[in-house]
Amino acid sequence: MSRWGGTLRALLRSGPLSGRIGLALVLFWFAAAVAGPWLAPHPVGAFVDRDVFGPMSARFWLGSDYLGRDVLSRLLWGARYTVLLALGAALLAGSCGTALALTAAVRGGWIDEALARAMDTLISIPSKIFALVLVAAFGSSLPLLLLISSVIYIPGNFRIARALATNLVGMDFVAVARARGEGAVHIALREVLPNMVQPLLADMGLRFVFIVLLLSGLSFLGLGVQPPYADLGSLVRENISGLTEGAPAIIMPALAIATLTVGANLLIDALGAGKGRR
């Protein structure tokens, strides 16, 4: 982890401008996610404007939405749901995928084969339809959304982690550890894992972006966060009829998604470039 922190410091000192912009955007949205609800000027579900799709004004900084609710307040709450859900799901997918990949790489044999089949199975079922079925079966809830979006991205993470781990397992220092008589758990956690953290974190960053977009796709299918709350994707979706009039109610959440994902991508790119040549 210290190496990761080092890269961050290096980025701040001398990294490319795009990386610093990315970092700023990501930090901004994380701050909004944490502090947003305290900053929101109105309750998230309150009908405060008689007009719908109101323009930006002193009272409603970002206008009002299709029911006359305050867009800024809803956006701040939406950022919390999107950022925290996507972060949680990315972490969950990353840790599950990596744990399974380590098991597959270290144990090999039929376990490896079985896990590979399981992952193929998961990945070949269209993810949004899979989500639709699960939500219809269990009802929509935050834990389920978190679980669905992480399960959907486990196979991708597994693929990359397994490739990295298999590579490492073949290396001399692992053979030495095996010769020392170390157990599989020790080899996986102490020898292999530390050497793959950096690319895995970069991968997790990408998954974060994918999950933000997946969530907005799910919201199109009506599978979002429970009202009166809404994630950023749901905000875009519910206000889409304001698109022709260019209402801030739709432009702002769309901008939020764009800046969040672009920022995360720029940051990952910059950190990845920091690795330099191998």
Partner 1 sequence: MSAASAPRTMLSGLLPLLGKRVASALLTLLLVSAVIFTVSGLLPGDAAQETLGQSATPEQVAALRHEIGLDRPALARYADWLAGMVRGDPGTSMVANMPVREIIAQRLPNSLMLAGFTALISVPLALAIGIASAVNRGGKLDRALNIMTLSMVAVPEFLVATLGVLVFSVKLLWLPSIALVSDTSTWGELIRSSTLPVLTLTVVVTAQMARMTRAAVADQLDRPYVEMAQLKGVRFSRVVLAHVMPNALGPIVNAVALSLSYLMGGAIIVETIFSFPGLASLMVNAVTSRDMPLLQACAMIFCTAYLLLVLTADVVAIMANPRLRAQ
Partner 2 sequence: MSLAPFSRRSLIGAGLAGAGLLALPGCARVQAPARKGGGIRVATQSASTADTLDPAKGALSTDYVRHFMLYSGLTETGADMIARPSLAERVESADRVTWSFTLRRGVRFHDGAELTSADVVWSLLRHKDPALGSKMATIAAQFAEVRADGKYGVILRLTGANADLPAILSQSHFLIVRDGDKAPAGNGTGPFRLAQFQPGVRTVATRNPEYWVPGRPHLDRIELIAIADEVSRVNALLAGDIQLANAIDPSSTRRVEAVPGHAVLATPSALYTNLILRQDQLPTGNPDFVQAIKHLIDRKLVKRALFRDFATIGNDQPIPPFHPYFNPDVPQTVLDLDKARWHLKRAGLTGVRLPLYASPAATGSVDMASILQEYGARVGLNLAVNRMPADGYWSTHWMRHAATFGNTNPRPTADLVFSLFYKSDAAWNESGWKNPRFDKLLVEARGEPDEPRRKALYGEMQRLVHDQCGSVIPVFISLIDGYDRRLKGLRAVPLGGMMGYRFAEHVWWDEG
Segment 123 to 142, residues that bind partner 2, using CB under 8 A: 132, 135-136, 139-140
Q: Considering the rule CB under 8 A, would residue 157 count as an interface residue with partner 1?
A: no
| Residue 85 is a binding residue for partner 1 (CB under 8 A) | no
Q: What are phi and psi of 231, to 5 degrees?
A: -85, 175
Is 127 among the residues that bind partner 1 (CB under 8 A)? yes
From partner 2, partner 1, none, interface partner of 128 (C-beta below 5 to 8 A by class): partner 1
The helix or strand, by DSSP H or E, that contains position 112, with its residue range, turns out to be helix 109-124
- Three-state DSSP at 131 gives helix
d(CA 102, CA 148) in angstroms, rounded, equals 22
Binding mask 178-217 for partner 1 (x = CB under 8 A): -------------------------------x---x--xx
Kindly write out the interface string for residues 37-56 of this chain, putting x where it contacts partner 2 by CB under 8 A and - elsewhere: ------x-xxx--x-x----
C-beta closer to partner 1: residue 57 or 241: 241
Distance, CA of 224 to CA of 50 (rounded, Å): 26
Which residues ranging from 213 to 242 are in contact with partner 2 (CB under 8 A)? 222-223, 226-228, 240-241
Residue 261 binds partner 1 (CB under 8 A) = yes
CA distances from 100 to 69, 70, 113, 168, 262 (A): 45, 44, 12, 15, 30
**Per CB under 8 A, does 120 bind partner 1?**
yes
Taking each continuous run of H as one helix and of E as one strand, the counts in the chain are 11, 0
- Residue 33 burial (CB count, 10 A): 22
**Of residues 96, 118, 147, 197, which one binds partner 1 by CB under 8 A?**
118
Backbone angles phi, psi at 47, to 5 degrees: -90, 95
Count the residues of the shown chain that bind partner 2, applying the rule CB under 8 A: 22
d(CA 90, CA 203): 9
Could you list the residues that contact partner 2 (CB under 8 A)? 43, 45-47, 50, 52, 66-68, 132, 135-136, 139-140, 222-223, 226-228, 240-241, 244
